[in-house]
Structures are given as structure tokens and as C-alpha cells.
Structure 1
Amino acid sequence: MKFWQHLLSKLRDYQNVYLLTVIENIGSSPGRKGFKMLVAEDGFIFGSIGGGVMEFSLVEEAKKLLRNRDLKIFLKKQIHQGHKENGSGMICSGEQTVVFHPLNNTHISVIEDILDCLQNNTNGILTLTPTLLNFSNEQLTNKFEYKINASQDWFFKEYIGHKSTLYIVGGGHVSVAVSELFVTLGFYVIVFDNRKDLNTLELNTSAHQKLIVDFNEIGNYISEGSESYVAIMTNRYTDDKLVLSKLIRNNFAYIGVLGSKAKLKTMWEVLQKEGVTTSELNIVRAPIGLTIKSQTPEEIAVSIAAEVIKIKNMNQ
């Protein structure tokens, strides 16, 4: 979201801006479809199209075009293998194609629509062609659709929206750090707690939604499906167990519980006595997150994010 906010700010300041977007990548190219950078007239840059000498060269080209008012839409192919024609200067192999798209204040409404989409948890399609940049409420089956026939015969479509949702049950310090990190990863984040006037919940300015609920009813607030991720981290063992018992038979891409191995061992024993099967318990990530000896809330957030990203990308 920060990318579009920065872009909107520059356009409202009546600056010309080049939007650089990777629309195709082959092999081990460092830039992947959908990677973006903005290069503004005042020299401000934000985002990435793969880094390294290749990125530096393309940014400098965009700056020169802006200085000379030579504003046009065009494709630039980069081959990451030595000094070949269209070579990027990198040796990591692979290829990527970047579209240079000049924007000005006439594009403000398009960028505003994209931001409204992200802020309101709706979705839409960003379309780039040799003649336009557009955002619409079309539906797209895949994250990207594109075709390149020639330099003036191509299109690129990208799904814009929060495809995945992270549900955090518990509004404490770790929840704040997890919310902040997952928002930057493009997740729609919803935090639940059963305590009113909770200081850490009030301090959580990253989550898209914050709800006070009865944990007995938690299942009514969390949607099942392959884009739903659940992290349980309440302040009490009994609440962790209650929430897990209400959700464990539902279908999620990911469900994990924060806690020590000793606490979780006891919880598992109690749940099994209550009829929860071993196979049902085996789907729960507990302790939550990859094992990286994390200690602070921020480190725990990183471990959870790493585990979720691994699962999400394996299922794509």
C-alpha cells in the first residue's frame, strides 16, 4: 500500500513519474512479475524491479527521460547473462521484461481507486497496455495475465487486492508486531480479543480490523478456505485451547498456536481426551513459526511470517 501512497503523493504534487513494472520473467531473473518501482521527477524512487546494476541502469534511464520530458510507454527486455544484446550487466541468468509507463496528475483517479481497493478489502484488475494504464472491477482467475507479441502489441493484467487474510486471535504485544509485518507482506489482517480497553489493541495501527468478540463464537468471524491463515496468541492457556477447539475442524491454509512446548503438550493431551484426533492436531503449527530461537515480539513475527510464506508459496 505504501507504494501506491507514495505514487499518489507525487502525482498530487504535479510531478511526472515513471512507473516501472516487470511484466515477464524467465528463469532465475531477480525481478519477478509484478515487481514495481516509481521514479519521480524530483529524484525520489521507491520499490524494486530486481536490484543490482540492472535496476540502477533502468532508474537512471527513467530519470533522464523525465529530465528531457521524453515521456513515452515502452518495453525494455533485460537478459541477465553477461554482455549480450539487451544484457543487463548481471550474470544470474534468466530474463525479465520491464514496461516504462509515464504518469502525471491525470492518473490520480486510477491510483486513488487502487488505494480504495486495498483499504476496503475489495479487489480489481490493473491493466497496462502500449496506450493506457487502467484499473477496473474485473475478475481475474490468476494473479497475472499477460502476452507480448511485439513492442507495440502486448498487455499485462494484475490482480490487485488482499488475496490472503491473516486472522490473529489475541491482541497483545506479539499481535502488534505480527500485524505490522503481515500488512507489509500484502495480507489483510484482522485481530480479535475478548478484552475491552486493551492498550496493545489500541496501539495496533496496522491491522485493517480490530474486533472484541466472545471466543466461544470465534468460528463465526473467521472464514474458511485456502486464503485464510490463523494465528492464535491469546493471553491465557484456557483461551488458546478454547479458540483452537472451535477452529481445529475448519479448513484453513494455516493454523498455529503461540506457546511453549510444555504448555502445548498439556493442551494436546487435554484436547485428545475431549475427542480431538491426532491427525487433527497434526495440522496445527505449534509452537507457531519456524524455529529460529526468536525471543522478542518482532523476532516471533518474523518466524511466523517465514512459516506462512513457505506454506503459501508451496501451495501456489
Structure 2
Amino acid sequence: MPATPRDLPVWALAAASLRAGTPVALLCVVRSEGSSPGRQGFKMAITPDAVAGSVGGGIMEHKWVELARQQLRETDPAPLLRPQIHRREAPADRSGMMCSGEQDVLLWPLAPADLTAVDAIEKAMTRGTSGALQLSVARGLQFHPEKPGLASPAGAVPFYFYQPGPPWSYREQMGFRERLTIVGGGHVSLALSRVLATLDFHVTVLDDRADLPTFDANEFAHLRRIIRYEDVAREVPAGPNHYVVVMTVGYRTDAVVLRHLLPRAYRYLGVMGSAAKVAELRRGLAEEGFSEQAVAKLRGPIGLPISSQTPEEIAISIAAELIQVRHAALGAG
């Protein structure tokens, strides 16, 4: 089955608890920097006897779970926003961890009135639709579904936004931040889709061949389409959070795809193949008039150098490179 957004279990537990009248609290990392184990956007749902999600693990997370459960025993629990500093020498707000980063954690006790918004978030994540979560003392917990036809241009709205307070506010887009398109539906494509099903990428697979067994067997991708490679640019929107891996049946079809995608801006554009093949692709694109800067954007051979041989090993190497690029983009190095 295709991967679901990382936070879906959190919202599912929160919604089920509110429907059942069980006390439940939301933990959310609203800010993070440095080597923080809990990154901005990490969440947990906590009830008296169940948890879902994570805000970074370790002793810090254990303390927050206990604090949340203590708050849930109060008659009128109040939200709590507190910094956590992961350094032993910090004069205050020490988390008990020594990662050297920082994070701000929000404890938000959910009330029956929050069920409408929480239920809408769970449904949106399950269906793969978009929207935005907003949390603030002034307005409480809100969910703003994306209206059809009014989607923001790629990158126009930050995925996460935190305004320190008082009065503080936090907003994030829901669902998958990173989107990967694999052009080519062969054996490595199938293996890569399987790996990325655990890595919080929305995966689309495109191919121009009907009745391709590995394409038909790919139950891990969110979308699969048979297209003409000459139309590939219409299927692969540009954007700072869009990654593209080209692995068609051969050199000639790779070149067709790259001619259409190279002028567009992606976080990552790579092509699978040997160093000799990729060099020949670059030479051909340059001869066709693509600038040196445009050709230099093309990554290849793709994948971290781990002497991979099988489709599964190659997929692991490519996934590792995508992770590396993702965290470099997020400033986590």
C-alpha cells in the first residue's frame, strides 16, 4: 500500500479518543534548530494509556508524555509551550539530552470542541487532500482545507511557520512536503518506491509502456500514470520540494525526458546510469543548446557510492542521496 503521511497515526488516535470521550493531548515541536532530535512539525497524541508519533524520543519525550498525562488529569488543562535545550551546561530548560540543538514543544490538551478540526485533518490525510493546521492561544486549533482551484504556487507558502509570542502562533501545511516523481517503472523504480514508502515522500511513477509487470506491481506509489515522454513536463510540476529521478528503459528515452525537464527548477533532478552514459547524456544536451549551468544541474550517476548491484541495493543508495539532499535543504546538513 502507498505510504501515508507520518502524522496520520497521531491524528487518528486524537480523533478516536475525542469521539470516545477519552482525554487526549497533542504534543507538537513548533521550532527546532541545530542537532535537535525532534524536528519542527514532529507530533504526538497522548492519552492515559496510548501514544502515537514522536517529538524526538529519549528521556525528553518520556518526560513530556508524563507531563501530558499529568495535565490530562487536571479539571481544566491549559496549553503549555516550553523550550527544550539539548545541552548539559544550559542554565535552564535542559531536556536531559546532549544533542546540542534546541526545540520548542507545545503541549495542547484537546477539547471536545476540537473534534471537528481533528476529524477533518484525519480525513484529509487519509484521502491525500491538502490543507493547513493552525494553532494559537487566540484562535485555538483550526484546520483550513485547501479549496479546489486555489492551491498556492509551489513554494509560495512555507510548509512550517512559527511566530514566537506572546501571542504565539504556529501554522503548517498538512500531508507530504517532499514529492518525488520516478520517470520509468522498471525494477529499480519498484524497489525505490518500496523504500520511499517509509521515508515520507509522496511518490508518483510515470512510464510510457502499457502492461509493464513491474509498473503494475507497484503498490507503493501514490500515483501511477502511463504517459508519452514528450508530455512529461505537464506531469512533473516544478518546485523547491519536488524531486525527480529518471530511470527509463534506455538512453534515448532518458534523453527525451531530460530535454523537457532540464529547463525547469527542481530540488533534485537525477538520472540513473553509468558514468559513461551520464557523460554522454550531458554532452548531447550541451550540443542541443542547453547552457552549462542547466546541464550542471543534472545529477548522475545517482545514488551514494556503496557498490550497489541489485535493484534493491541501488534503491537504497538513491534513497540515501535523496535524504542527504532533503536535510541539506532543511539546513540540517
Range class of TM-score, shorter chain: 0.7 to 0.9
Out of 119, 141, 144, the residue aligned to residue 136 of structure 1 is 144
1:38 to 41, 45, 52: 45
Distance change >3 Å, CA 146–CA 221, structure 1 → 2: closer
Tell me which residue corresponds to 1:81: 87
Cα contact 1:268–1:281 (8 A) shared by 2: yes
Cα distance in 1 between the residues matched to 2:289 and 2:33: 50
Distance 1:70 1:57, change over 3 A: farther
Contact 2:240–2:267 under 8 Å retained in 1: yes
Cα deviation, 1:45-83, whole Å, max 9, x if unaligned, reads: 332212221112212222344467774422233233338
2:205 counterpart of 1:201: no
Bigger drift between 89-98 and 186-195 goes to 89-98
Partner of 1:12: 16
Q: CA deviation at 1:212?
A: 0.5
1:305 alignment partner in structure 2: 319
Q: TM-score, normalised by structure 1?
A: 0.82
CA 1:81–1:242: 2 relative to 1, 3 Å? closer
Distance 2:10 2:314 in 1: 29
In the TM superposition, what are the counterparts of 1:166-205 in structure 2 within 5 Å? 166-205=180-219
2:163 paired residue among 130, 147, 170: 147
Distance 1:244 1:27 in 2: 36
**Structure 1 residue 310, shift from structure 2 partner:** 3.8
Task: Report what 2:149 is aligned to.
Answer: none
Structure 1 residues 46 and 155: CA distance shift in structure 2, 3 A: same
**Residue 307 of structure 2 corresponds to residue 293 of structure 1:** yes
Larger relative contact order (CA 8 Å, sep ≥ 6): 2
Gap runs ≥5 in structure 2: 147-151
Provide the secondary structure at the position in 2 that maps to 1:77: strand
Alpha-carbon RMSD: 3.2
Aligned residues: 313
SS of the residue corresponding to residue 149 of structure 1 reads coil
The residue identity in structure 1 corresponding to 2:8 is W
Q: In structure 2, what is the equivalent of residue 53 of structure 1?
A: 59
* Aligned residue type for 2:193: S
Query: What 5-or-longer segments of structure 1 have no aligned partner?
Result: none
Cα gap change, 1:114 to 1:292, in 2 (>3 Å): farther
Pair 80,313 (structure 1): closer, same or farther in 2 beyond 3 Å: closer
Which residue number corresponds to residue 25 of structure 1? 32
Greater Cα offset, 83-92 or 257-266: 83-92
**C-alpha spacing 1:129/1:286, structure 2 compared with 1 (3 Å):** same
Contact 1:294–1:303 (CA<8 Å) still a contact in 2? yes
Q: How big is the shift at 1:197?
A: 2.6
How far apart, in 2, do the equivalents of 1:224 and 1:62 lie?
41
- Pick from 248, 251, 257 the counterpart of residue 265 of structure 2: 251
**What is the DSSP-based 3-state SS (H/G/I as helix, E as strand, rest coil) of the residue aligned with 2:65?**
helix
Equivalent residue for 1:157?
Answer: 171
Change (3 A) 1:135 1:181: farther
Corresponding residue number in structure 1 for 2:298? 284
- TM-score, normalised with respect to structure 2: 0.78
User: Which has the larger displacement, 253-262 or 78-87?
Assistant: 78-87
| Contact 1:176-1:204 at 8 Å conserved across structures | yes
In the alignment, residue 32 of structure 1 is paired with which amino acid? R
Q: CA deviation at 1:37?
A: 1.8
> Which deviates the most, 194-203 or 102-111?
102-111
- How far apart are the structure 1 equivalents of 2:93 and 2:69? 19
1:149 is aligned with what amino acid? G
Asked if 2 retains the 8 angstrom alpha-carbon contact of 1:167 and 1:189, the reply is: yes
Tell me the SS of whatever aligns to 2:7: helix
